[in-house]
Structure 1
Amino acid sequence: MTRLFDLVRNENGASAAEFALVLPILLIALIGTIDVGLYAWNINQAEKATQTGARWAVATDMVASGLKTYSFAVSGGVPQGTVVDQTAFPGVTCQSNGTTASCTCASGGTCSFPLTADNAAFTRLVTRMAQIDGDITASNVVVTYAWSGLGFSGDPNGPDVAPLTTVSLRNMTYTPLTTLLFQVSVPLPSFAYALTMEDGSGTVSN
């Protein structure tokens, strides 16, 4: 009976048992803190890639190659030297299905110029962005050319319009360390950055 009483009151190993109970909570808190930092890092990385992509898009070949070569003075009926009206250029959106890029006219608008896409230019853009964030693929990137009122019809040195060029990054995700075994991903917000088109020609950007 005395031995049983001594065994009940024996506190040897109590600290180890308490530590074993607290350890999982400490580990979850530690890994959770790391996850928050990595999530913020991924957001910053994606945002920087989007900014770099916008700079690349305005200083290199236009993805909307039909717009780049179209003369609104010759084929669009816009008087030489005048600003191309928004009705003549409502805007263009270019994106990829993962393998091939394509361009569409802005919703509700009518585009008389060819809606052809330069797949090589789009690939170069995605490649440049992926140098900043390796998780970016062609299906994540959207390039939009919107009317800005800049440029003039019949410009002999480049496109007749200097559109507001927006590069958007969408459908990006982050897989937290705490859910890595279950492959559960957390969506990142969408990103967009806009600059006014420059020369729209070339394969290298500063």
Structure 2
Amino acid sequence: MIGVPSITRLWRNQSGASAAEFAMLLPVALLFLIGLLDAGRFFYTINQGEKATQIGARWAVVTDPVAPALATTSYVGATVGGVTLTQGDRIPAEALGRLTCTQTICECNPGPCPTTGTPPGPSFATVVARMQDIMPQIGADNVVVEYRGSGLGYAGDPDNMDIAPLVTVRAAELTFSPYILLGFTMNLPDFSYTLTMEDGKGQEAF
């Protein structure tokens, strides 16, 4: 028969308290740890997206334009703002509107543009492949290459394409899946980077 002193000692016994407290705190600690991992992965993914678009833009300005007509269009004789350009004239920014190329088509809106409704050239795949080296989850359907007038370039340039547009490479509609919420995905912000066209020749950047 257990006496009163024995019951008192049993009531005050705390030998298993640490194990019980550990069992209660373990799920919270794990959630906190996984949350930290997810936060690190999220910011790393953001950095990947930014760097991938920077690399994509760099390749886009030193290789053949994704919209092939830009490389072959001569602006000698073109009328821009009521002025007819002659050999050696600087090409105004308004000579080129917004030419946007996806994996399937290059469209102009607003104009003017040397072409619209045409498929992109092989350089599009080159830009996408280089971006995938940095961020593998980027697909061709995530990439947009855009050309806009910059006010640079000379009509009838004998060595390079006449116009030197602003080139923007954008990665859009990317997602992030956290470990802490299995099956849940969140949309990442669009990434974009803009540079001015340089040589605009070839399929490789050095």
- Over residues 101-122 of structure 1, what are the superposed CA-to-partner deviations in whole Å (9 max), with x where a residue is unaligned? x111133x233x2233434210
Among 106, 122, 125, the alignment partner of 2:109 is: 106
Matched, 1:37 2:40: yes
**What whole-Å deviation, never above 9, does each CA across 1:123-168 have from its counterpart, x for those lacking one?**
1110010001101111111111111111111222222100011111
1:94 aligns with 2:101: yes
Cα separation, 1, equivalents of 2:198 and 2:94: 22
TM norm structure 2: 0.86
TM-score, length basis structure 1: 0.86
Instruction: Determine whether 1:79 maps to 2:86.
Output: yes
Quote the residue 1:193 is aligned against.
193
Contact 1:63–1:117 (CA<8 Å) still a contact in 2?
A: no
Query: What letter corresponds to residue 193 of structure 1 in structure 2?
Result: Y
Which residue does 1:139 correspond to in 2?
141
Return the letter of the residue paired with 1:78. Answer: L
| Alpha-carbon shift at residue 8 of structure 1 (Å) | 5.1
Cα distance between partner residues in 1 of 2:95 and 2:57: 24
- How far does residue 10 in structure 1 lie from its aligned partner after superposition? 4.6
Q: Residues 53-64 of structure 1 correspond to what in structure 2 (within 5 A)?
A: 53-64=56-67
Displacement of 1:33: 0.6
| Structure 1 runs not aligned, ≥5 long | none
- The alignment-based identity, stated in percent, is 46
Q: Distance in 2 between matches of 1:23 and 1:119?
A: 56
Per-residue CA distance 1:1-21 (angstroms, 9 max, x = gap): 737946655544322221111
Asked if the contact 2:106/2:120 (under 8 Å) is kept, the reply is: no
Instruction: Output one character per residue of 1:43-88: Cα deviation in whole Å (capped at 9) or x when no partner.
Output: 1111111111111000111001112111122676632221223443
Structure 1 segments (4+ residues) deviating >6 Å: none
1:128 corresponds in structure 2 to 130
Q: Secondary structure at the match of 2:122?
A: helix
